[in-house]
């Protein structure tokens, strides 16, 4: 009810053009204020909702509930079975004020409504998530206005998983109605269904700063927020996934390119390591057994001439694993990492265990490899 009222209270505050399509001679005009337009009340309506959401999220977190996504008037959370959300709501001053308004208006029932319950979930970005039951069946989805081939929830969930797994952004074909504006301006014949090609992805939207642990925090400045969103837009125009690693590489001034085999982040990291090896920096060696060095002599010669690439700390895990595979001991691996990314060791999680794991896999592969014997004697003696 308050949301409906908000539309008239906020009408005309922001300048935008509207058209009355039922009157051909009535061209686009500025939307005027309504009889009850009042900016301070409009701000209080949305502000009160946000205050209640923030307070509720804080109270739930204190009870061990994990907040995975919050939008407009609701939250997607991971909570214990049987957790009573409305009981907690009584401890929120903003939520209590909303409840008072409901009581005054004669609205009965709980303040909070449970929209869906499941056993597991996947959150891709704002308004793009999937909730599953204990049998792995999809019980709820938010598709971020994406067009899907099927209306079946399990099919949609599978399609979202497929989109999220792609190394690059795919252009997908879907159908939609032409707009009334296009029909009026003679750009379309009527409100009919047309086929369109649209780039669709499930990359995180970076409205907040995404941490390595999956938690998000507000950007410290508007400039940092705008810079991240600008990088995201540039990557998407190149049909490159806006992963945290890709954004960090782009922000560090690294030129992003893709080869015929690898995703763009891996390709960039491999190229940086090859240049170190070609120049003999930091203990890196040219190792043909690793895919990073699977290039021809021309590329190797070019790598030796070009300056090293500055990699961000977000690439530290990948670089260290490659160094661990090359180095004879843990100290050498850390020195090789420092040559690629100065002060990167502090950003690694349990590097000793990672080094041991990489080496144990190398040893296992060596043991599994077939033993080749070159016979120097006759077949009868061998």
Is 88 in contact with 113 (CB distance < 8 Å)? Answer: no
Coil, helix or strand at residue 177: strand
Q: Tell me the C-alpha distance between 236 and 374, whole Å.
A: 53
DSSP strand E in the chain: where?
Answer: 17-18, 29-30, 66-71, 74-78, 120-125, 128-132, 138-143, 170-177, 193-200, 209-210, 216-217
Q: Tell me the C-alpha distance between 147 and 175, whole Å.
A: 8
Torsion angle, alpha carbons of 314, 252, 334, 261, to 10: 70
Whole-structure pTM value: 0.68
DSSP letters of 92-153? -HHHHHHHHHHHHHT--S-SS------SEEEEEETTEEEEE-TTS-EEEEEETT---S---H
Provide the pLDDT for residue 349.
82
Is 205 in contact with 126 (CB distance < 8 Å)? Answer: yes
What DSSP designation does 252 have? T
Provide the pLDDT for residue 26.
66
Q: What is the pLDDT of residues 357-370, one digit of tens each?
A: 888 865 554 444 44
pLDDT by residue for the chain (382 residues), tens only, comes to 666 788 899 999 988 888 777 776 666 788 889 999 999 999 998 899 899 999 999 999 999 999 998 888 899 999 999 899 999 888 999 999 989 988 998 988 899 999 999 999 999 888 899 999 999 999 999 876 787 878 899 999 998 998 888 877 878 777 778 877 777 777 777 777 777 777 788 888 888 888 777 788 899 999 999 999 999 988 888 888 888 878 877 776 677 666 655 567 788 888 899 999 999 899 999 887 888 888 888 888 988 888 888 888 888 888 999 999 989 899 999 999 999 998 888 888 888 999 998 888 655 544 444 444 343 444 444 3
List b or e across 201-220, with b for residues whose CB sees 16 or more CB atoms inside 10 angstroms: bbbbbbeeebeeeeebeebe
Is 303 in contact with 274 (CB distance < 8 Å)? Answer: yes
Provide the pLDDT for residue 261.
54
If residue 338 lies in a helix (H) or strand (E), which one and from where to where? helix 330-340
Provide the pLDDT for residue 52.
93
- For residue 300, what are the CA distances in angstroms to 70, 140, 271, 275? 49, 51, 10, 8
DSSP letters of 270-294? HHHHHHHHHHT-TT----TTSGGG-
Place of tokens 């209306």: 151
Provide the pLDDT for residue 192.
78
- For residue 27, what are the CA distances in angstroms to 16, 126, 180, 185, 277? 13, 36, 13, 10, 66
Q: Tell me the C-alpha distance between 283 and 276, whole Å.
A: 8
Structure tokens that stand for 240 in this block:
């490159």
Q: Tell me the C-alpha distance between 6 and 46, whole Å.
A: 8
* Cα maximum dimension of the chain: 106
Provide the pLDDT for residue 333.
92
DSSP letters of 193-214? EEEEEEEE------SSEEPTTS
Torsion-angle region of residue 186: left (phi > 0), alpha (psi -120 to 50) or beta?
Answer: left
Coil, helix or strand at residue 380: coil
């Amino acid at each position: 009810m308050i949301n409906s009222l908000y539309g008239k209270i906020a009408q005309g505050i922001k300048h935008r053009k509207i058209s009355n399509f039922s009157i051909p001679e009535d061209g686009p005009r500025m939307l005027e204020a309504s009889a009850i337009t009042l900016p301070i009340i409009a701000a209080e309506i949305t502000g009160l909702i946000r205050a209640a959401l923030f307070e509720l999220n804080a109270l739930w977190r204190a009870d061990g509930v994990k907040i995975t996504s919050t939008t407009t008037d609701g939250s997607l959370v991971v909570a214990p079975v049987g957790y009573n959300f409305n009981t907690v709501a009584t401890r929120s001053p903003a939520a209590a004020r909303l409840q008072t308004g409901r009581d005054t208006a004669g609205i009965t029932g709980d303040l909070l409504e449970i929209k869906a319950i499941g056993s597991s979930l996947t959150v891709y970005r704002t308004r793009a998530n999937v909730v599953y039951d204990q049998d792995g069946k999809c019980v709820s989805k938010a598709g971020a206005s994406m067009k899907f081939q099927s209306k079946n929830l399990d099919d949609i969930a599978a399609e979202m998983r497929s989109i999220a797994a792609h190394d690059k952004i795919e252009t997908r074909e879907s159908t939609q109605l032409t707009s009334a504006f296009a029909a009026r301006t003679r750009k379309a014949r009527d409100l009919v269904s047309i086929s369109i090609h649209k780039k669709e992805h499930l990359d995180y939207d970076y409205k907040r700063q995404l941490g390595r642990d999956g938690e998000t925090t507000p950007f410290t400045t508007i400039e940092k927020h705008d810079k991240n969103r600008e990088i995201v837009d540039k990557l998407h125009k190149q049909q490159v996934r806006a992963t945290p690693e890709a954004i960090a590489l782009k922000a560090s001034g690294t030129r992003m390119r893709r080869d015929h085999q690898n995703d763009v982040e891996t390709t960039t990291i491999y190229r940086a390591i090859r240049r170190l090896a070609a120049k003999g920096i930091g203990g890196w060696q040219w190792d043909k057994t690793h895919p990073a060095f699977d290039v021809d002599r021309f590329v190797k010669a070019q790598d030796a001439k070009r300056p090293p690439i500055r990699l961000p700390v977000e690439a530290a895990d990948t670089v260290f694993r490659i160094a661990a595979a090359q180095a004879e001991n843990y100290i050498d691996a850390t020195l090789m990492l420092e040559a690629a990314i100065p002060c990167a060791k502090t950003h690694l999680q349990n590097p000793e265990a990672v080094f041991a794991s990489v080496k144990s896999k190398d040893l296992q592969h060596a043991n599994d490899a077939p033993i080749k014997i070159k016979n120097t004697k006759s077949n009868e003696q061998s």
